[in-house]
Amino acid sequence: MSEKKIPYKIYLSEDEMPRVWYNLRADMANKPAPLLNPATLQPMTAAELEGVFCKELVAQELDDHTPYFEIPREIRDFYKMYRPSPLVRAYCLEEKLDTPAKIYYKFEGNNTSGSHKLNSAIAQAYYAKRQGLTGVTTETGAGQWGTALSMACGYLGLDCRVYMVKCSYEQKPFRREVMKVYGASVTPSPSETTEVGRKILAQFPGTTGSLGCAISEAVEAAVSTPGYRYVLGSVLNQVLLHQSIIGLEAKTALDKYGVKPDVVIGCAGGGSNLGGLIAPFMGEKLRGEADYRFIAVEPASCPSFTRGAYRYDFCDTGMVCPLAKMYTLGSGFIPSADHAGGLRFHGMSSVLSQLYDDGLMEAVAVKQTDVFAAAEEFARVEGILPAPESSHAILAAINEAKRCRETGEEKTILFGLTGTGYFDLVAYGKFHGGEMHNFAPTDEDIARSLAQLPKVD
């Protein structure tokens, strides 16, 4: 390779780090549908939400018109421990694929939580602390969010109780241990510690759990413990707001070099990474200033965009949460336990759901073994061992770059590399050992689950 005009890694200086988060909803003509109170079917009020969430976060959750929110200095100081994160030009991958495409990825894995989740964790913990709360509860699937929240709470001196989806709890013992280093308590979900947990266990003995179950337990624990609130690592508008720092940094870095992506690709579970990465680009598209293609990549085992319905549904299995309008497989949907990593949530961010429904974004579902093959190909040329979640985006980016090889198009591809796979080596081992399989729900599975949706629309 010859010397490059664009460096392998573009690092913004700390001065160039965004001082505001961008609220994509402000530029949406069709606003995402409001959260509904399941009892009254009326939009949730701030007062109702403040029993579950911190006051400041409720304000962010409900605000669909303020375009920018200032990032408090304390949060920016914390961000500086691991941000700005690098935007990497994937020269080695391009060469390996022999493609005329130019591939960039925004790498969010260079922190101990191993993912982008820390961006919202510190924000949510900060507002809880500022409100004078004692602690927070949450759920975690693959473990990134729980680790991130543990780190943020450890830093601020806030109690942290994590309900961890049981199959991840068992598959990823080291994740539990990291959370403990940062002082969190970790309970496998469903558990006997909550009413909703006991109910789910009675109904589905031996269940390996789901994010939906764990959310129900964490919410119950929060509302029944004085001085506690619940925090969530994805799906919510506030989380996408905090995660906009990913896209804002990526865009600033690309702008510095006069680069404009043709297509922006992200993995999608609840939508936190994808929503954050695309935010400023989608904003330009919504305002008619530029055009981009956006691709959400989801697992074939949990295909909410590509096979779900755009309906009001509960975010949790226990049906204790407000109703959100979203692409959903039904809150009773539990993805195959053999699926490694996260992206196992039955629904999708309301913001992203509306954009997808408006035809502003594409979605594709991919098979697990293809994802791990892409992960390994990537690791060997780019060095980084990617998280299985992130590897969904890697696979889609590689496929796009291969199409460019066929057509000769010099497309610029930007994708989100949300994290590292250091805690996913059981899954990598299964892949190597030929013990990894592909699962997808049948049409009947999905129809059965969707039939249970609340009758709202």
20 contacts its own copies (rule: CB under 8 A): no
One of 77, 410, 435, 457 touching its own copies (CB under 8 A):
77
State the virtual CA torsion across 237, 242, 245, 251 in degrees, nearest 10.
10
11 contacts its own copies (rule: CB under 8 A): yes
Q: How far is the CB of 93 from its own copies (least distance, A)?
A: 11
Closest C-alpha to 278, from 6, 27, 109, 5: 27
382 contacts its own copies (rule: CB under 8 A): yes
What is each CA distance from 129 to 62, 100, 157, 222, in whole angstroms? Answer: 21, 49, 8, 15
State the virtual CA torsion across 392, 398, 399, 400 in degrees, nearest 10.
110
One of 44, 136, 151, 393 touching its own copies (CB under 8 A):
151
Which tokens in the block code for residue 197? 């947990």
Q: How far is the CB of 414 from its own copies (least distance, A)?
A: 18
State the virtual CA torsion across 380, 382, 385, 387 in degrees, nearest 10.
-120
One of 380, 403, 405, 437 touching its own copies (CB under 8 A):
380
Which tokens in the block code for residue 438? 């592909």
One of 420, 446, 450, 453 touching its own copies (CB under 8 A):
420
Contacts of 78 (CB under 8 A, 6+ apart): 122, 126, 152, 155
Contacts of 102 (CB under 8 A, 6+ apart): 89, 94, 259, 410, 411, 412, 413
In the bound state with its own copies, the residue whose beta carbon lies nearer, of 183 and 454, is 183
- Residue 87, strand partner residues: 10, 106
Distance between CA 62 and CA 220 in Å, rounded?
Answer: 22
In the bound state with its own copies, the residue whose beta carbon lies nearer, of 161 and 307, is 161
Stretch of 98-106, 151-159, 316-324, 408-416 contacting its own copies, by CB under 8 A: 151-159
Collapsing DSSP to helix, strand or coil, 441 comes out as coil
Stretch of 20-28, 109-117, 274-282, 296-304 contacting its own copies, by CB under 8 A: 109-117
**Binding-site residue total for its own copies (CB under 8 A)?**
45
In the bound state with its own copies, the residue whose beta carbon lies nearer, of 8 and 447, is 8
Evaluate whether 405 touches 99 at the Cβ level (below 8 Å). Answer: yes
In the bound state with its own copies, the residue whose beta carbon lies nearer, of 34 and 154, is 154
Contacts of 224 (CB under 8 A, 6+ apart): none
Distance between CA 103 and CA 232 in Å, rounded?
Answer: 31
Stretch of 1-9, 60-68, 318-326, 359-367 contacting its own copies, by CB under 8 A: 1-9
* Angle at which helices 237-256 and 350-357 cross, to 10°: 70
Distance between CA 187 and CA 161 in Å, rounded?
Answer: 8
Stretch of 76-84, 163-171, 303-311, 358-366 contacting its own copies, by CB under 8 A: 76-84
Q: How far is the CB of 9 from its own copies (least distance, A)?
A: 7
Stretch of 80-88, 311-319, 340-348, 388-396 contacting its own copies, by CB under 8 A: 80-88
- Residue 296, strand partner residues: 266, 363
One of 132, 226, 258, 383 touching its own copies (CB under 8 A):
383
In the bound state with its own copies, the residue whose beta carbon lies nearer, of 334 and 384, is 384
Q: How far is the CB of 118 from its own copies (least distance, A)?
A: 8
Stretch of 46-54, 75-83, 232-240, 350-358 contacting its own copies, by CB under 8 A: 75-83
Contacts of its own copies in 188-227 (CB under 8 A): none
One of 357, 376, 409, 445 touching its own copies (CB under 8 A):
376
DSSP 123-160: HHHHHHHHTT-SEEEEEESSSHHHHHHHHHHHHHT-EE
One of 59, 62, 92, 259 touching its own copies (CB under 8 A):
92
1 contacts its own copies (rule: CB under 8 A): yes
Collapsing DSSP to helix, strand or coil, 6 comes out as coil
Q: What is the CA radius of gyration of the chain?
A: 20
Collapsing DSSP to helix, strand or coil, 432 comes out as helix
| Exposure letters 431-452 (e unless 16+ CB within 10 A, then b) | beeeebebebbeeeebeebbee
Contacts of its own copies in 261-290 (CB under 8 A): none
Kindly write out the interface string for residues 157-186 of this chain, putting x where it contacts its own copies by CB under 8 A and - elsewhere.
Answer: ----------------xx--xx-xxxx---
434 contacts its own copies (rule: CB under 8 A): no
Stretch of 8-16, 137-145, 190-198, 295-303 contacting its own copies, by CB under 8 A: 8-16
Q: How far is the CB of 181 from its own copies (least distance, A)?
A: 6
94 contacts its own copies (rule: CB under 8 A): no
Sites of contact with its own copies (CB under 8 A): 1, 7-9, 11, 13-14, 73, 77, 80-82, 91-92, 110-112, 114, 151, 154-155, 173-174, 177-178, 180-183, 376, 379-385, 420, 422-423, 425-426, 428-429, 432
